[in-house]
Amino acid sequence: MSSPDDHDPAELLARWWATYTAVDEDDDMLSPDQRLAVTAPFGQTWPGLAPTREAAADPDDLAAEYAARFVLSRPQSRLGLVAAHSGADALAVVGWDGPANWDNDTATFAAVVSDWERRFGARVVAVGSDTLHLSVTAPPTTAEDALLVAAEHFAFCPDNIWQGPRPQTLASYAERLIDTHCWEFWWD
């Protein structure tokens, strides 16, 4: 595994976006038109990173609140302590393999989470074998910013949109991100 410091989050997200939006005539999940509809209005064009948001609260305090609610809603949860500077670094230190079906180098995902820590006041609250739960003190507050964050989420974890309870688009996913202080990811 590499180090999170070896990766540029913007380049990773752009590369993943290009991979997941590529039209594949042999795709058994989505037709080319359906694939492009999912990522409308951007289609195959990476829109770039969402703007940095000013945190409205202390990121660590919000993470503690979210962690308390998380444990109450999932009593089977267990505490894990990792010697790392941040939650993003902890993902790489422990060799978390949640997105293993997409990329075996956890450091790439840790690099993006580290960038979200800086830009959105995100904190890792919980991880599972294929899940990641973040608290977010500076979520998007407008539809425009939420659409850009949704594009980042799609590049980071396309299953959030592809494998949802009903067919989703970036726009429908983005609506749910406005003023939402927890981001959850699931990889198939």
pLDDT computed for residue 25 by the predictor: 67
Phi, psi of 150 (to 5 degrees): -60, -40
Note the pTM of the prediction, 2 decimals. 0.93
Q: Domain total for the chain?
A: 1
Residues recorded for the chain? 188
How does pLDDT run across 97-136, given as a tens digit for each residue? 888 778 888 999 999 999 999 999 999 999 998 999 999 9
pLDDT computed for residue 35 by the predictor: 79
**Cβ-contact 13, 46 below 8 angstroms:** yes
CA-CA distance, 183 to 188, in Å (whole number)? 17
- Collect the ranges in the chain with pLDDT lower than 70: 25-29, 164-167
Supply the range of the domain harboring residue 171. 4-186
Could you give the C-alpha distances from 67 to 64, 78, 150, 178, in angstroms and in order? 5, 11, 23, 21
End-to-end CA distance of the chain: 21
pLDDT computed for residue 143 by the predictor: 97
